[in-house]
Amino acid sequence: MKRVLLATSLMAASLSASAVVPGGDSCGWGNMLFEGQSGLPMHVLASTTNGTSGNATFGMTSGTNGCSADGTLTYGGKSMIDLSSIMGEFSEDVARGHGDALTTVAVALNVEAQDRQVFDAVMHENFAVIFPNENVTAEEAMATVLKVMKADSRLSKYAA
């Protein structure tokens, strides 16, 4: 259960923060398909000159360059990373049924190597369920991911 909550927070972190300031100050890279992720391309200037804009982090908190700077979700007192910013990659990988983002989420969910293919296939089959429209939030998508996993005999143990 703990693991599931962690993964949910991976997906859902920071949506509230970014909803307040779409494309705002601390908001990071990439305006993508889904709501809650806006881009501010001028940040490119900062990073290409090897700058690190604003709040430096040391890995104790969530990603800082993303919209998540103010919206880190924690579980059991632990700060978790923000994966809502890979919603674009994740949705594309789910649509195709393979890819790095899919693997990353599987790893975050502690899906063991021998079940990864099943995970990929189940996600692929349920694309339209997990992503019912272009305005779905990371939190909602993750909740469905877990629901779908629970319904599968091999994946249910990871979503328990």
Partner 1 sequence: MYLLRLLISFLLFGWLPAINAFADTGLSGTGLSDTDSKNQIRSYAESAKMKAADLKLSEETTWRALLHYRQDSFSESGVSSYVDDSAFFFSPMGHYDAEQELQSTIDALFLPESLGNEHAQCRFVYRFQWITSKLNLDLDKMPVAQCTDYLEWRKQVNAHSVSLIFPATALNSPSSMFGHTLLRFDPKDVEGGSDWLSYALNFGANINNDDNSVSFAFRGLAGGYPGVYNMMRYFEKIKEYNRMENRDIWEYKLNYTPEEVDLILTHVWELKDINFDYYFFDENCAFRLLELLELVRPEVNLTERFKLDAIPTNTVRAVVEEGLVESTHFRPSELAELHARIDSLPKSIQRLGRALADDIEVMQSPEFMALSQEQQGEVVQIAYSYLRYVQLQTQRDEEMAKRSYQLLLALNKLSSKKVEVARPDAPETGHKTITAGISAGERNDDVFQQVNYRVTYHDLLDNEKGYLRGAQIILFNTELRHYNNDGLKLNRFDIVDITSLSKRNLFLKPLSWKVQVGYERLYSRGDEVGVLQLNGGAGHSYEITDDVEVFGFLTGRVEHNKQYNSILEPAIGAETGLLYYSPIGAQKLDVQGYQFLNDDYRVRASFSQNFNIAVDHAIRLSVAQEWHDDDDFYDVSIGYRYYF
Is the CA virtual torsion 129, 148, 82, 91 positive or negative? Answer: negative
d(C-alpha 6, C-alpha 43), whole Å = 29
CB of 126 to partner 1, least distance (A): 10
Nearest alpha-carbon partner for 107 in 96, 95, 97, 120: 120
Q: What are phi and psi of 21, to 5 degrees?
A: -120, 75
CB of 2 to partner 1, least distance (A): 15
Tell me the residue type at 34.
Answer: F
d(C-alpha 111, C-alpha 16), whole Å = 28
CB of 15 to partner 1, least distance (A): 14
Beta carbon nearer to partner 1, 136 or 155: 136
CB of 18 to partner 1, least distance (A): 11
Beta carbon nearer to partner 1, 16 or 103: 103
Binding site for partner 1 (CB under 8 A): 22-23, 25, 28-35, 37-39, 41, 43-54, 56-60, 63-66, 81, 85-86, 88, 91-92, 94-96, 98, 100-101, 103-104, 106-108, 113, 124, 127-128, 131, 133-135
Beta carbon nearer to partner 1, 27 or 149: 27
d(C-alpha 28, C-alpha 44), whole Å = 10
